[in-house]
């Protein structure tokens, strides 16, 4: 018996299937190139910064700090964007040692420049820290403890018109409220004029970043009046979330031609005062800063407002409140619309021992 042989040619795979592999490879290649391009651009941005370094920041690199510790510190201060990229870049460049010292660096700077500065080193200086809300007298107390400085000498320069803020009204020679909070390194050759110039420059930069000029126009006040209002908020608010609400209370009372009745301004008017509570005797002080006896804003700031207080002053929360009173030991305030509601909240605060 003979076997039949199938002489038909083998069936070839469909042409479409044969073309799928090159298309998949092409897609993968495109994705790799895209990721590489995006990643490269991102890394370049981290290395170079945005191209416009920001304000100066005072930074202390402690003795024995590792590259990782330095990178994290620089990142927290906003000087570099990514600490991992900084560490890898420093290793790739063979950078180091990065030296301990007090540095004046700029936010969003290039990593190459930061490393160059840290390799050069900087001496450790005396320093003074100005926190938000401090008065000019309190700042002068701190500066007066530095070698070669005195409280009276600092105050004389601060009130003598030698240094000016761009937000200072014409004719004013008083820098109250116009010194920026922060830590300042003070070299032996730094006199009071140089130190005050840096403090005022810090404030001007901060206020400009907060949009003080434009914000003042929106709330129909002068920039200096916003600084005054911001100083009231800074001294009255204990927690951040209260700042815009306290700002609204002040604006509402101004609009109704009411006494502001801000205790912090009364305390500022007193020659000496211990604590934060105001007595009936204190309320009788004859001063334009006594907002229980004089309507409108006080004639000047009662301390140095920080950026959050300035932001609240130019962007108050919406609301009808006319009163506020301390509500808990953490510093949170309660807010009221009517005097009856305020008296009830005040009685609750007394019962808690807060007033």
| Confidence check: pLDDT of 5 > 70 | no
User: Quick one: pLDDT at residue 101?
Assistant: 87
Token digits for 122?
């900087």
In this predicted structure, which of 120-124, 198-202, 216-220, 324-328 has the lowest mean pLDDT?
120-124
The predicted-structure confidence for 296-336, as pLDDT tens digits, reads as follows 999 999 999 999 999 999 999 999 999 999 999 999 999 99
The predicted-structure confidence for 176-190, as pLDDT tens digits, reads as follows 999 999 889 898 889
Query: pLDDT averaged over the chain?
Result: 88
Residue 113, Cα to own-chain centre: how many angstroms?
24
* Average pLDDT score over residue span 195-223: 95
Instruction: List residues bridging with 60 in a β-sheet.
Output: 102
Cα 352 to Cα 292: distance, rounded to the nearest angstrom = 25
The answer for residues whose C-beta is within 8 angstroms of residue 173's C-beta and 6 or more apart is 159, 160, 161
In the chain, ranges of CATH 3.30.1490.480 domains: 56-120
Instruction: List residues bridging with 57 in a β-sheet.
Output: 105
Residue 4 — pLDDT band, cuts 50, 70, 90? Answer: very low
The reply to whether CATH 3.30.1490.480 applies to domain 56-120 is yes
* Average pLDDT score over residue span 281-293: 94
Cα 309 to Cα 331: distance, rounded to the nearest angstrom = 16
Cα 57 to Cα 133: distance, rounded to the nearest angstrom = 20
The predicted-structure confidence for 78-117, as pLDDT tens digits, reads as follows 999 899 999 999 998 898 899 988 898 999 899 999 999 9
The full 3-state SS of 130-142, as one line of letters, equals ECCCCCHHHHHHH
Environment class of 64 (CB within 10 Å of its CB; exposed 0-12, middle 13-18, buried 19+): exposed
Residue 275 — pLDDT band, cuts 50, 70, 90? Answer: low
């Amino acid at each position: 018996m003979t076997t039949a042989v199938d002489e038909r040619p083998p069936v070839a795979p469909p042409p479409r299937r044969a073309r799928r592999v090159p298309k998949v490879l092409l897609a993968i290649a495109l994705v790799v190139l895209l990721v590489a391009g995006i990643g490269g651009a991102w890394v370049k941005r981290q290395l170079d910064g945005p191209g416009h370094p920001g304000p100066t920041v005072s930074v202390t690199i402690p003795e024995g700090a590792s590259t990782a510790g330095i990178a994290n510190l620089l990142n927290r201060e906003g000087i570099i964007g990514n600490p991992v990229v900084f560490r890898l870049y420093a290793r790739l460049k063979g950078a180091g040692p990065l030296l301990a010292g007090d540095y004046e660096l700029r936010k969003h700077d290039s990593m190459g420049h930061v490393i160059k500065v840290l390799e050069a080193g900087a001496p450790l200086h005396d320093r003074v820290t100005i926190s938000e809300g401090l008065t000019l007298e309190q700042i002068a107390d701190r500066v007066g403890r530095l070698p070669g400085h005195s409280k009276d000498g600092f105050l004389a320069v601060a009130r003598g018109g030698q240094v000016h803020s761009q937000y200072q009204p014409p004719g004013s020679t008083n820098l109250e409220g116009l010194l920026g909070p922060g830590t300042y390194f003070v070299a032996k050759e730094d006199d009071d004029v140089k130190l005050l110039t840096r403090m005022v420059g810090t404030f001007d930069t901060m206020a400009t970043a907060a949009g003080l000029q434009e914000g003042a126009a929106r709330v129909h006040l002068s920039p200096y009046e916003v600084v005054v209002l911001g100083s009231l908020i800074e001294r009255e608010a204990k927690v951040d979330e209260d700042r815009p609400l306290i700002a609204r209370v002040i604006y509402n009372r101004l609009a109704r031609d009411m006494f502001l009745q801000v205790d912090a301004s009364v305390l500022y008017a007193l020659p000496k005062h211990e604590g934060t509570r105001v007595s009936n005797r204190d309320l009788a002080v004859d001063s334009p800063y006594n907002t229980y006896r004089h309507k409108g804003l006080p004639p000047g700031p009662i301390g140095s407002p920080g950026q959050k207080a300035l932001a609240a002053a130019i962007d108050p929360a919406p609301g009808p409140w006319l009163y506020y009173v301390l509500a808990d030991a953490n510093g949170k305030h309660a807010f009221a619309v009517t005097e009856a509601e305020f008296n009830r909240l005040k009685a609750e605060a007394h019962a808690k021992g807060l007033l």
